[in-house]
Amino acid sequence: MRELLVIGGPNGAGKTTAAKVLLPRFTGIVEFVNADEIAKGLSPFNPDGAALVAGRVMLERMEHLIGAGASFAFETTCAGRGHAALIRRCQSLGYRFTLLFLWLRSPELAMARVAQRVGEGGHDIPPDVIRRRHGAGWRNLLDLYWPMAEDGAILDAEVSPARFIIEKRAGAVTLHDSELWRRVQEQTP
């Protein structure tokens, strides 16, 4: 079966790091389409300057993989709703959609994580963008992306290793940490 795996979460949650660990170890997916990594490949010393082109290349690559019937994964903050149409199309073509969302409790924590990443040579995201994406990503996760997923998990990315908060398998939901899930829902913007 063809697989579409989406790794979601706010900036700084560890999406790329999680993909590099999870994909080779737990899936047969070898195609991870990541605009940030594409931008680094296009312009190693100025990836921010290549971001728009990288976004187009990412979309073109995903279209190519869909056309070839290949399984693939990508990451997103879930702040936009644009990936929903692509996911629905993949599902109509027989892809199984799995969503892993890495949760961080606040935009401030996301900002601190991004600042740490920048200190280690990674890419920066302006604080106002992090704040906007944090709220929008969570709303879109609950209202749009989570209901679409056949399988998925929302994980607490504040601890290492990340721990399951809630999980979905073949549509059946299992709550792993009811107290944390209650707090997560209370903080929803």
Structural domain tally of the chain?
Answer: 1
Q: Domain for residue 79, yes or no? A: yes
Q: Domain for residue 59, yes or no? A: yes
Number of H helices and E strands in the chain, helices first, is 8, 7
Q: Domain for residue 13, yes or no? A: yes
The whole-model pTM stands at: 0.93
107: tokens are: 């935009």
CA dist., res. 29 & res. 44, Å (int): 26
Phi, psi of 21 (to 5 degrees): -90, -50
Kindly tell me the sign of the dihedral angle through the C-alpha atoms of 34, 20, 65, 4. Answer: negative
* pLDDT by 10s per residue, the chain, length 189: 899 999 999 999 999 999 999 999 899 999 999 999 999 999 998 888 888 999 999 999 999 999 999 999 999 999 999 999 999 999 999 999 999 999 999 999 999 999 998 888 878 889 999 999 999 999 999 999 999 999 999 999 999 889 999 999 998 999 999 999 998 888 766
Q: Domain for residue 77, yes or no? A: yes
Q: What count of other Cβ atoms lies within 10 Å of the Cβ of residue 9?
A: 28
Q: Domain for residue 132, yes or no? A: no
Q: Domain for residue 137, yes or no? A: no
Collapsing DSSP states into helix, strand and coil, what is residue 79? coil
Q: Domain for residue 143, yes or no? A: no
Task: With beta carbons less than 8 A apart as the criterion, state whether 113 and 104 touch.
Answer: yes
Residue with tokens 């312009």: 43
**Enclosing domain of residue 47:** 3-127+154-179
163: tokens are: 């721990």
CATH number at residue 81: 3.40.50.300
Nearest to 17 by CA among 169, 155, 174: 155
Q: Domain for residue 11, yes or no? A: yes
Task: With beta carbons less than 8 A apart as the criterion, state whether 36 and 122 touch.
Answer: no
